[in-house]
């Protein structure tokens, strides 16, 4: 291992030991990355992606061939009937709200079966009062909590479904709740149960942070719709903005009508020069996600060694790229985020501070020294300033960068 001047020999020796222990895990991640890389390459070749597809249009963006082809590539990768991939989708929360508001009508009910949704969705749903929430439009919601072992409560799901239920929603990643993220095999039983209750129920999965972590995606196990952000996994660190929705063609049409206007849908919306970055980022995404996963496992292994609780543990399977570390101390959470920021390529001299971030109930501290503002696939860490003062670490376009940042943060905290 490279002898970093600001890392003690003790920590470097432990890091070498942990890397050796993780070798089998890293080999498995390489196998998944290779399978996903071929899947993405096959989609590019199948749709005959050409240099001309990177050209930008102006005005209405009618017949923007590169935009239309990119959506076909996404459909091929996720094995869906259609997809909506747009720079006009500003973030993951926007993609999720767009999907829900497009499909749910007054009188419908939204059923969460993976517990309370991520903080930034609470105002969208109406859990917290807000103009333009689903609740304001007469759409109700119900939450089925996970069991004590963080598995789906199948009996409670059966009891919760009623004649008003239209969408059954699964949040794959943990959000700011320190629970495991879901692998597709863990979601599959719940999806099958929902479909057995009523075949017309729509299963939607918030796939943020989960793309390319496994060889299959939620749409391969029966989900009707998935959504996510291009400044997370599928953007590969290059997409400057954007989000995607993939699934059934009739549902994608409704989402497109909500994004633009009924009758216009997917026909309008110029990509304004972002297409090349979206294509190239997607081509790199399987490898980049693999690097981020290695960083997550390494983080868990190192911090566990010094007595911190990590979720997932270093010997557990990961359903997404996010690694949670419980510090039980606000100062340690701040120190962790400050040090991750100081190890970044961009804005390394900046010290992050907790602030009232839009869409969150508690102050949030966030380290994100990124080339793309807020990019979660680049090295980042954040956490709400509330017990148990958990840091949520994710990303790292290269394993080596993530490894150094983790060693530096651990050194700072131990000091």
d(CA 178, CA 312): 9
205 sits in which H/E element: strand 202-206
Question: Do residues 213 and 187 make contact, with C-beta atoms less than 8 angstroms apart?
Answer: no
Cis-peptide into 14, omega within 30 deg: no
| CA 70, 249, 132, 165 torsion-angle sign | negative
Under 8 Å between Cβ of 415 and 20 = no
- pLDDT at residue 119 is higher than 90: no
Residue 1 scores a pLDDT above 80: no
Does an H or E element contain 394, and which? strand 390-394
pLDDT at 210: 98
Q: What is the dihedral of CA 240, 377, 202, 67, to 10 degrees?
A: 30
Mean pLDDT of the chain: 96
- Listed in sequence order, the residues at least 6 apart from 20 whose beta carbon sits closer than 8 Å to its beta carbon are none
What is the pLDDT, as a whole number, of residue 254?
A: 98
User: Considering the domain 9-37+285-414, what is its CATH architecture?
Assistant: Alpha-Beta Complex (3.90)
Q: Does the structure show a pLDDT above 80 at 359?
A: no
Confidence of residue 2 (pLDDT cuts 50, 70, 90): confident
* Residue from 134, 133, 159 nearest 145 by CA: 159
Average the pLDDT over 284-295 and give the result: 98
Per-residue model confidence (pLDDT) at position 362: 87
Q: What is the pTM of this model?
A: 0.96
In terms of Cα–Cα distance, which of 275, 387, 392, 266 is closest to 336?
Answer: 392
pLDDT of residue 357: 82
How confident is the model over 130-144, as pLDDT tens digits? 999 999 999 999 999
Place of tokens 């907790």: 354
Residue 57 has pLDDT above 90, yes or no: no
Nearest to 52 by CA among 36, 41, 38, 68: 68
Burial class, 163, CB count within 10 angstroms (exposed 0-12 / middle 13-18 / buried 19+):
exposed
Question: Per DSSP, what are the bridge partners of residue 310?
Answer: 325
Strand partners, 337: none
Task: Look up residue 225 and give its two tokens.
Answer: 């719709």
How far apart (Å, rounded) are the C-alpha atoms in residues 235 and 89? 13
Q: What is the pLDDT of residue 404?
A: 97
Q: What band does 168 get if pLDDT is binned at 50, 70 and 90?
A: very high
pLDDT in tens, 192-203: 999 999 999 999
Q: What is the mean pLDDT of residues 109-132?
A: 94
Percent of the chain at pLDDT above 90? 94
Mean predicted confidence (pLDDT) in 355-374 = 89
Helices assigned H by DSSP within 134-270: 154-160, 184-197, 249-259
How far apart, in whole angstroms, are the C-alpha atoms of residue 298 and residue 110?
37
Picking from 249, 255, 259, 214, the residue whose alpha carbon sits closest to that of residue 233 is 214
CA distances from 95 to 108, 149, 173 (A): 20, 30, 15
Structure tokens at 169: 């929603």
Sequence ranges of the domains in the chain? 9-37+285-414, 53-281
Pinpoint the alpha helices (H) of 22-137. Answer: 23-46, 65-78, 92-103, 122-125
Give 356's Cβ-side CA count (13 Å radius).
Answer: 0
Tell me how far apart the alpha carbons of residues 317 and 33 are, in angstroms, rounded to a whole number.
15
Helix H, strand E, coil C: the string for 276-329 is HHHHHHHHHHHHHHHHHHHHHHHHHHHHHHCCCEEECCCCCCCCCCCEEEECCC
Instruction: Compute and round to an integer the Cα radius of gyration of the chain.
Output: 21
Least confident of 56-60, 209-213, 288-292, 365-369: 56-60
CB 86 within 8 A of CB 240: no
**254: three-class secondary structure by DSSP:** helix
Q: Mean pLDDT, to the nearest integer, of 215-233? A: 98
pLDDT tens digits, one per residue of 63-76: 899 999 999 999 99
Distance (Å, whole) CA 269 – CA 227: 19
Beta bridge partners of residue 383, listed in sequence order: 365
Beta-sheet pairing, 225-229 with 202-206: parallel
Q: Tell me the two tokens of residue 88.
A: 């006009």
Across the range 390-400, mean pLDDT stands at 97
> Which pLDDT does position 396 carry in this prediction?
96
Query: Per-residue confidence at 360, pLDDT binned at 50, 70, 90?
Result: confident
Tell me 349's DSSP state: T
Other CB atoms within 10 A of residue 176 CB: 19
Choose among 343, 364, 342: nearest CA to 353.
364
The reply to whether domains 9-37+285-414 and 53-281 share a CATH topology is: no
Confidence of residue 393 (pLDDT cuts 50, 70, 90): very high
Give the domain 53-281 fold: 3.40.640
């Amino acid at each position: 291992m490279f002898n970093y001047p600001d890392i003690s020999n003790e920590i470097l020796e432990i890091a070498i030991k942990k890397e050796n222990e993780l070798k089998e895990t890293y080999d498995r991640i390489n196998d998944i990355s290779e399978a996903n890389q071929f899947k993405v390459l096959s989609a590019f070749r199948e749709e005959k992606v050409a240099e001309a597809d990177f050209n930008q249009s102006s005005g209405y963006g009618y017949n923007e061939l590169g935009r239309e082809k990119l959506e076909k590539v996404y459909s091929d990768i996720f094995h869906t009937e259609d997809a909506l991939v747009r720079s006009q989708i500003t973030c993951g929360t926007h993609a999720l709200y767009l999907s829900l508001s497009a499909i749910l009508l007054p009188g419908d009910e939204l059923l969460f079966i993976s517990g309370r949704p991520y903080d930034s969705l609470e105002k969208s749903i109406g859990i917290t009062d807000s103009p333009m929430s689903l609740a304001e439009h007469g759409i109700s919601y119900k939450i089925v909590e996970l069991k004590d072992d963080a598995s789906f409560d199948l009996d409670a799901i059966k009891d919760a479904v009623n004649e008003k239920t239209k969408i059954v929603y699964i949040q794959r990643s943990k959000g700011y709740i320190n629970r495991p993220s879901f692998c597709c095999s863990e979601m599959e039983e719940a999806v099958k149960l929902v479909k057995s209750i009523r075949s017309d129920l729509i299963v939607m999965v918030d796939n943020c942070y989960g793309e390319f972590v496994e060889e299959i995606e939620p749409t391969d196990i029966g989900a009707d719709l998935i959504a996510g952000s291009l400044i997370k996994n599928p953007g590969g660190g290059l997409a400057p903005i954007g989000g995607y929705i993939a699934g059934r063609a009739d549902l994608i049409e409704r989402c497109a009508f909500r994004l633009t206007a009924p009758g216009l849908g997917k026909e309008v919306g110029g990509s304004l020069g972002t297409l090349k970055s979206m294509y190239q980022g997607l081509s790199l995404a399987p490898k980049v996600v693999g690097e981020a996963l290695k960083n997550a496992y390494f983080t868990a292994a190192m911090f566990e060694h010094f007595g911190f609780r990590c979720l997932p543990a270093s010997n557990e399977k990961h359903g997404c790229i996010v690694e949670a570390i419980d510090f039980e101390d606000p100062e340690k959470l701040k120190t962790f985020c400050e040090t991750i920021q100081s190890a970044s390529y961009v804005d390394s001299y900046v010290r992050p501070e907790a602030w009232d971030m839009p869409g969150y109930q508690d102050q949030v501290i966030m380290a994100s020294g990124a080339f793309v503002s807020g990019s979660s696939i680049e090295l980042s860490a954040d956490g709400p300033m509330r017990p148990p003062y958990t840091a949520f670490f994710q990303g790292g376009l290269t394993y080596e960068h993530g490894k150094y940042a983790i060693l530096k943060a651990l050194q700072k905290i131990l000091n």
